[in-house]
């Protein structure tokens, strides 16, 4: 039974469909992973903002606070129709959990595939004062068990956030663009890349802050450049680790999105991406880290089959440490995926 059926009508599940066009494509001709992330975030923002305004009280806008780890299950092709559906699956006092599923449909044959499933957390901010967090109207759960499961997910992500904060500290480590001519191929420095972007009105909500989906699309673009520079083949986004949106990015900021490779397995590459924001016109405002995340890419041959990737050449202790940490995440995620597959087969 859908959780949403038990909620107020204004919070009903939503579905957004559209045909995928050539300007949604990556260079391999499939739909860009960043475009899919952007569509997911749009659906999440609509349903959570609608829900948070479903009762009388202060009007608000739901800001994306976190995206849980998400896998890209199969490619979406240009000409197919994407169906992005979203429903609210949990509410805490100040946050909303949204589950989003993306299906792609071949409208010639009617065949449908699940391409992505994502869980996002939104926090409602007052329209009068975006620094003020508003209380979320609670949803009614169809059963006590579903409420308990939701609470467990909420507590798990809260715990993980605390851990990440402690691990990252407040230190900002900019990724400097190297002079690539002087770098050895397959080193971290060789593929390291950055993109500088001035945040304009088309990137922002009506309230002048960057849409989470826009940020994720730019992050995917930079990570993709790093992956291609390393392996020089077609690549696809395989997964994105949990992303926390630490701080808002305002219209008029300059953002630097930097990516560096941290780990290579036999057929995958992990890339760490940072988004640093710097107010353009306001004086006395320092550059700050707004978002960071790990993206995993797979290199493909002309038939779309995964290829072995060149192994990363590590040049110092810092890179070796990051590689080992990446290996830990890779092994953990692989075990999780295998357990999920096993559970699906047993169903
Ligand atoms: N993921 C999920 N929930 C989060 C979160 C995160 N990364 N950060 C905060 N929250 C939730 C908390 O659990 C809490 O809810 P609860 O009281 O029901 O447990 C609520 O948000 C408020 O937490 P608090 O610690 O008081 O807020 P904060 O000062 O950390 O601010 C944000 C939270 C989301 C408002 C702030 O981090 C922010 O502005 N981030 C940027 C948002 C944005 O611009 N998004 C677009 C991306 S570019």
DSSP letter string, 238-292: EEE--EEE-S--BTTEEEEEEEEEEEE-SSEEEEEEEEEEEESS-TT---EEEEE
Say yes or no: CB of residue 153 within 6 Å of ligand 1: no
Say yes or no: CB of residue 75 within 6 Å of ligand 1: no
Using the mean position of ligand 1's atoms as its centre, give its distance from the Cα of residue 10 in Å.
23
Using the mean position of ligand 1's atoms as its centre, give its distance from the Cα of residue 113 in Å.
33
Q: What is the mean pLDDT of the chain?
A: 90
Residue 30 is a catalytic residue: no
133-168 pLDDT per residue, tens: 999 999 999 999 999 999 999 999 999 988 776 555
Among 106, 102, 113, smallest CA distance to 80 is for 106
Among 41, 43, 33, 101, smallest CA distance to 271 is for 33
Predicted confidence at residue 145, as pLDDT, reads 96
Say yes or no: CB of residue 129 within 6 Å of ligand 1: no
Average pLDDT of 24-33?
Answer: 89
Distances (CA, A) of 79 to 8, 22, 74, 235, 294: 36, 8, 15, 20, 29
Predicted confidence at residue 178, as pLDDT, reads 66
Say yes or no: CB of residue 302 within 6 Å of ligand 1: no
Q: Which atom of ligand 1 is nearest to the CA of 248?
A: 44
Predicted confidence at residue 5, as pLDDT, reads 38
- Residue 85 phi/psi, 5-degree rounding, is -115, 145
**pLDDT bucket at 14, cuts 50 / 70 / 90:** very high
Q: Whose CA is nearest to atom 8 of ligand 1?
A: 65
Of 24, 203, 220, 276, which residue is the catalytic one? 220
Residue 174 has pLDDT above 60, yes or no: no
Predicted confidence at residue 207, as pLDDT, reads 84
220-239 pLDDT per residue, tens: 999 999 999 999 999 999 99
Residue 220 is a catalytic residue: yes
Residues 6+ apart with CB under 8 A from 32: 24, 25, 26, 217, 220, 221
Say yes or no: CB of residue 207 within 6 Å of ligand 1: no
Q: Which atom of ligand 1 is nearest to the CA of 275?
A: 48
Mutate to test the pocket of ligand 1, among 40, 62, 65 (most ligand atoms within 8 A of CB): 65
């Amino acid at each position: 039974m859908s959780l949403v059926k038990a909620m107020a009508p204004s919070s009903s599940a939503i579905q957004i469909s559209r045909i995928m066009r050539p300007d949604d494509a990556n260079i391999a001709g499939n739909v860009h992973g960043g475009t899919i992330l952007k569509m997911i975030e749009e659906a999440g923002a609509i349903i959570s903002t609608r829900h948070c305004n479903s009762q009388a009280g202060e009007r608000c806008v739901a800001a994306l606070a976190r995206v849980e780890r998400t896998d890209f299950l199969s490619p979406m092709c240009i000409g197919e129709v994407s169906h992005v559906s979203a429903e609210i699956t949990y509410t805490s006092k100040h946050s909303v959990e949204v589950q989003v599923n993306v299906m792609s449909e071949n409208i010639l044959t009617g065949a449908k595939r699940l391409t992505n499933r994502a869980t996002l957390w939104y926090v409602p901010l007052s329209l009068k004062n975006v620094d003020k967090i508003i209380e979320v109207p609670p949803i009614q759960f169809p059963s006590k068990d579903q409420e308990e499961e939701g609470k467990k997910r909420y507590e798990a992500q809260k715990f993980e956030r605390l851990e990440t904060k402690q691990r990252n500290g407040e230190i900002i480590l900019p990724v400097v663009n190297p002079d690539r001519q002087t770098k050895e191929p397959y080193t971290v420095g060789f593929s390291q890349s950055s993109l500088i972007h001035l945040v304009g009105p088309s990137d922002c909500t009506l309230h002048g802050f960057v849409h989470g989906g826009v940020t994720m699309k730019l992050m995917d673009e930079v990570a993709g450049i790093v992956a291609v520079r390393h392996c020089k083949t077609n690549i696809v986004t395989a997964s994105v680790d949990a992303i926390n949106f630490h701080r808002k990015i305002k219209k008029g900021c300059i953002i630097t999105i930097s990516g560096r490779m941290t780990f290579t397995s036999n057929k995958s590459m992990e890339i760490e991406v940072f988004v640093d924001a710097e107010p353009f016109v306001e004086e006395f405002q320092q550059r700050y880290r707004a978002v960071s995340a790990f993206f995993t890419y797979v290199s493909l041959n002309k038939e779309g089959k995964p290829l072995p990737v060149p192994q990363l050449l590590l040049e110092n202790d810092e890179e070796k440490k990051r590689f080992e940490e990446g290996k830990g995440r890779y092994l953990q995620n692989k075990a999780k995926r295998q357990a999920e597959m096993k559970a699906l087969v047993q169903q």
